[in-house]
Amino acid sequence: MSVVIVTGSDCRFYTHRDLDVRDRASVDRVFARCGRSLAAVVHAAAQPSHEWAASEPVVDFEVNALGTLYLLEATRAHSPDAAFVFTSTNKVYGDAPNALPLVELDRRMELPRGHRDYDGIDETMSLDQSRHSPYGVSKAAADLTVQEYGRHFGMKTAVFRCGCVTGPAHAGVELHGFLSHLMRCTVAGAAYTIHGYGGKQVRDNIHSEDLVAAMWEVVQNPGIGKVYNMGGGRRSSCSVLEAIDLCQEIAGRPLRYTCSDRHRAGDHAWWITSVQRFVGEYPAWSRRHGLRETLEQIHDACV
Ligand SMILES: NC(=O)c1ccc[n+]([C@@H]2O[C@H](COP(=O)([O-])OP(=O)(O)OC[C@H]3O[C@@H](n4cnc5c(N)ncnc54)[C@H](O)[C@@H]3O)[C@@H](O)[C@H]2O)c1
């Protein structure tokens, strides 16, 4: 992994180290060397694939849950004043969103206008008693541990439960990084498979720069044991079918796709993020990149 070490009160100094978050001794050594000069830890290292996790649940748990614990322990031991920002996922809610009263429209699943979650699901959704996939569970374990290091040890921890995060540098693959993979297939003329829901499953999409800007707000003014849903919101939401329309339009060529009947285990039929809590605490932050612009950037990076 790349550990990015940013030190100094103005975060001016930047160093790269390659190490595995499962290697506790090496992680500890790096943090010991930085000590109290460490200003912030942004932990985005993960086994990020929902589907792959089921094939190697032990590796998935070691990287996502145990690796996070090692980073927290090293931070607590050597750099307890550092802000600790963790990229969690909406998969910690399991498939609870699928219990929402969704209506099947022509091109997408949708909530009735006026439903409390119409403009996005907030952090009060239960994490409990739903189907998560091993990935959702390993990330939930990490998410709760990050919160606990705030509540129990008073550390400046913050969890971002992200919807789809993407951008021009995203290396999307079939089962992870949907917009990036979709645009790559469109540009390359490769076949694309839609996994279930007739392509009407809805996701909101946030540009990585907007996520980084949100993290930067937290790093400058961190709280204790904070949890935020983070995503592109309704205006940056699309179904797979709508995303295909956009990709074809931007790339100026048709995509060859098929639709399999089987959706991925624990997959959401509809997810739009409410960022109300985050905006309430950090009003200076707003999203700068819309869905079309993000896809155009991905397209330009592909070609
Ligand atoms: N992209 C999304 O849509 C999305 C959505 C929700 C949450 N997230 C979270 O955002 C974070 C980044 O995901 P991404 O989508 O950029 O995926 P990614 O695969 O591009 O990034 C994950 C990084 O973790 C590193 N890594 C993997 N195993 C490691 C290990 N044992 N030790 C150290 N580093 C290791 C990889 O080398 C890679 O650089 C993850 O925590 C993921 O769960 C991503």
Element (H, E) at 151: helix 133-151
- Mutate which of 21, 64, 132, 137 for ligand 1? The one with the most ligand atoms within 8 Å of its CB, which is 21
Handedness of CA 79, 85, 87, 92 (dihedral sign): positive
Query: What does each C-alpha distance from 166 to 160, 184, 207, 293, 298 come to in angstroms?
Result: 15, 13, 5, 12, 9
CA angle at residue 299 from 293 to 300, to 5 degrees?
90
Summarize pLDDT for 97-154 with one digit per residue, the tens. Answer: 999 999 999 999 999 999 999 999 999 999 999 999 999 999 999 999 999 999 999 9
Q: How far is the CA of 46 from the centre of ligand 1 (A)?
A: 4
State if residue 180 touches ligand 1 by the CB under 6 angstroms criterion: no
Q: Is 1 in the pocket of ligand 1 (CB under 6 A)?
A: yes
Q: Is the CB of 165 under 6 A from ligand 1?
A: yes
- Per-residue pLDDT band at 266 (split at 50, 70, 90): confident
Q: Kindly indicate the confidence band of residue 1, based on its pLDDT and cuts at 50, 70 and 90.
A: very low
Q: What is the pLDDT of residues 35-76, one digit of tens each?
A: 999 999 999 999 998 889 999 999 999 999 999 999 999 999
Distance CA 145, CA 151 (A): 10
Q: One-letter amino acid identity for 219?
A: V
Quote the mean pLDDT of the chain. Answer: 94
The average pLDDT across 83-93 equals: 97
Ligand 1 neighbour 63 (Cβ under 6 A): yes
**Among candidates 160, 183, 180, 184, which has minimal Cα distance to 172?**
180
Mean pLDDT of 183-200: 96
Q: For residues 135 and 160, what is the distance between their CA atoms, to the nearest angstrom?
A: 16
Instruction: Write the CA distances from 53 to 39, 66, 132, 158, 192, integer angstroms.
Output: 32, 14, 11, 24, 22
Q: Which atom of ligand 1 is nearest to the CA of 139?
A: 43
Q: What's the CA-to-centroid distance between 26 and ligand 1, angstroms?
A: 19
pLDDT score for 8: 53
For residue range 139-181, what is the model confidence (pLDDT) as tens digits? 999 999 999 999 999 999 999 999 999 999 998 888 788 899 9
Q: What mean pLDDT do residues 237-265 have?
A: 95
The pLDDT value given to residue 15: 74
Q: Is the pLDDT of residue 92 over 80?
A: yes
User: Is the CB–ligand 1 distance for residue 24 below 6 Å?
Assistant: no
* Euclidean distance between CA atoms 233 and 237, whole angstroms: 6
User: What is the per-residue pLDDT for 257?
Assistant: 96
The predicted model scores a pTM of: 0.95
CB atoms within 10 A of CB 39: 21
State percent of the chain over pLDDT 90.
87
295 or 6, which is more confident: 295
Of 135, 133, 212, nearest in space to 169 by CA: 212
CA quadruple 56, 59, 158, 206: dihedral sign: negative
* 169 C-alpha to ligand 1 centroid (Å): 13
* Rounded Cα–Cα distance for residues 166 and 279 (Å): 20
Is the CB of 211 within 6 Å of ligand 1? no
pLDDT at 6 over 70: no
CA 135 to ligand 1: nearest atom: 43
Task: Please give the pLDDT value at position 2.
Answer: 46
Helix/strand/coil for 31: helix
Q: What's the token pair of residue 100?
A: 């929402």
The confidence score (pLDDT) of residue 264 equals 82
The whole-number pLDDT of residue 10 equals: 55
Which residues sit opposite 273 in a β-bridge?
121
User: How far apart, in whole angstroms, are the C-alpha atoms of residue 26 and residue 30?
Assistant: 6
Structure tokens at 30: 């790096």
